[in-house]
A and B are shown apart, each in its own frame.
Chain A
């Protein structure tokens, strides 16, 4: 153990309250493990929003469809990075992929990820953009025309029959994609929910709560991106679309909130021996991040705003402002949810008699700066994706698909 680590742990030791076991002082799953479910949740949520158009025929949300798909892809590309960085040797990660371990629940993420990336997102985006890519391959200048030709796998057929087949394929993939998105984020919840030694995590409700909070955050991020991107392009925001997305956001928040309340009541009623330490932890160590940020700011306030907007028909500008504010608050709230699950689960002793403290690093592989970088990276990737595969077409024509 390095001297710096000993110094750091000695400093933390002073902040321990009650009794803890000697090996508990170091919190192993740190900020990056908070970022991981947050990013994966955005992927699953954005995809669910996109699937509303193709599977459930919600025509109003059409303008956000391609954006949602590209958002999901941008975040999915970043999703494994927090894990690989957390493990300490990201440069060795190829070994995991080449020698997969079929009996490890943790290694299952690789399979779930590969399935979702290759057979759902990439395929659906390819079919969705195939016609456009064929056209751009013909109209763009060198070298971009070759880039599009390679992207479209040199296909040239844009006859009505072929385009109809593309649409069918997109629908079929979306139908497979919905359970896949559920599995992707349900899996992240499962990894926590299946740790039976940890009463804060060990609950069959965790995957479902994770899933619905993912849908909430995914819809909110697409709503935010749609508003920002459309405004920055100097276009009018489609208010019908925005209202509809906000309605879905409201429904998702209601379901998510009910599930979290259910989980809370369930824990209180069960009153297992861990309830005392968990109550102490929630009231002390997690009072800001859980009660203030997750429940009040991240859940009740946006819920109230969205309900008020639904009841009173405000004018367009005020509605936009309120949607924007509540979507941002929801992002803060869902990030706090991930924080409270991951860090909260490690802040109490397994003896149920003491509480620990987590001190965040600033620099280093698992530090704050790396987490901020990983949260910015998907937006950079999305910017590139929007340049390469603009949802609104090359000549700013409206998306007709």
Chain B
């Protein structure tokens, strides 16, 4: 042994000692200082899994809702929102499943909720229903026109759209979406066969708009004016666009 050490050059012995100490310190730190869990080979540390398992459960999962709300559940499962879980819109409902009377999950009725998914964004897939929330029926809550459990796109009256497609598209996003064209326009049958000879009529009096928008009309949720003082001698459509009536956003 002694001969062996005399044959090994002196610097090598010194370096081996230095490296030995260095690796010894590393092995010591790894062996005794670093907590065991940091050295686990798995993707997740056991302690992390235990911590997650111990945390409070907030979401109940969509299946359990069907036990009481089967009607809404079945309707949803047949429509476009079939892949959405109830809690996507209604929020975490574990508490509700445990104490149905004491805790009611919220139902988002405000307009700001649906555009989270349905605002126009070029990265969304083709065919995904997307709107411009500023121009699309402003201020009105989405659920006024769309049933969130069965969100079919509304069918706009379309008998005129074969020729007047541009107007139909404009109107489809406006407050007047559900008004048939013939509510305002007087259209003789001949207009359909000889549209250039027999023209469709436009309202010539203010009474038509006033039937909804006059302050004394019984229609709710529409802007009201005093038809006798507002706009003087002009017919309404000379200032307002009836296919996309402007909205005061304030």
Contacts and interface: CB of A to CB of B under 8 A. Distances in A.
Contacts of A162: 9-11
Contact of A165 (B11, B14, B15, B38): B11
A169 B11 contact: yes
A127 B18 CA distance: 14
Contacts of A153: 11, 14-15, 17-18
A207 B34 CA distance: 36
A21 B123 CA distance: 7
A130 to B, nearest CB: 6
A99 B19 CA distance: 19
Given A22-B121, A165-B9, A155 B39 contact: no
Contacts of A155: 10-11, 14
B145 interface: no
B122 A19 contact: yes
B128 to A, nearest CB: 15
Contacts of A99: 34, 38-39
Contacts of A154: 14
Contacts of B9: 162, 165
A123 B17 CA distance: 14
Given A22-B123, A99-B38, A99-B39, A166 B29 contact: no
Contacts of A127: 11
A157 interface: yes
B118 interface: no
Contact of B10 (A19, A21, A118, A157): A157
Interface residues of B, number: 17
Interface in A140-193: 153-155, 157, 162, 165-166, 169
A98 B29 contact: yes
Of B26, B121, B123, the most chain A CB neighbours within 10 A belong to B123
The size bracket of the interface on A is 10 to 19
Given A19-B122, A99-B38, A130 B11 contact: yes
Interface in A74-131: 95, 98-99, 118, 123, 126-127, 130
A58 B149 CA distance: 82
A95 B37 CA distance: 13
Contacts of B14: 153-155
Contacts of B39: 99
B202 interface: no
Nearest to B14: A153
A127 B15 CA distance: 10
A303 B117 CA distance: 57
A169 B11 CA distance: 10
B31 to A, nearest CB: 11
A21 B34 CA distance: 42
Contacts of A169: 11
A169 B10 CA distance: 12
A107 to B, nearest CB: 14
B18 A98 contact: no
A97 to B, nearest CB: 9
B30 interface: yes
Nearest to A154: B14
A153 B34 CA distance: 30
A291 B138 CA distance: 51
Interface in B1-28: 9-11, 14-15, 17-19, 26
A98 B34 contact: yes
A19 B30 CA distance: 50
Contacts of B38: 95, 98-99
A166 B11 contact: yes
A127 B14 CA distance: 12
A154 to B, nearest CB: 7
A22 B123 CA distance: 7
Contacts of A166: 11
Contacts of B26: 98
Nearest to A166: B11
A123 B22 CA distance: 14
Nearest to A159: B10
Interface of A: 19, 21-22, 95, 98-99, 118, 123, 126-127, 130, 153-155, 157, 162, 165-166, 169
Given A99-B39, A155-B11, 19 more contacts: A19-B122, A22-B121, A22-B123, A98-B26, A98-B38, A99-B34, A118-B19, A127-B11, A130-B11, A153-B11, A153-B18, A154-B14, A155-B14, A162-B9, A162-B10, A165-B9, A165-B11, A166-B11, A169-B11
26 contacts: A19-B122, A21-B123, A22-B121, A22-B123, A95-B38, A98-B26, A98-B30, A98-B34, A99-B38, A99-B39, A123-B15, A126-B15, A130-B11, A153-B11, A153-B14, A153-B17, A153-B18, A154-B14, A155-B10, A155-B11, A155-B14, A157-B10, A162-B10, A162-B11, A165-B9, A165-B11
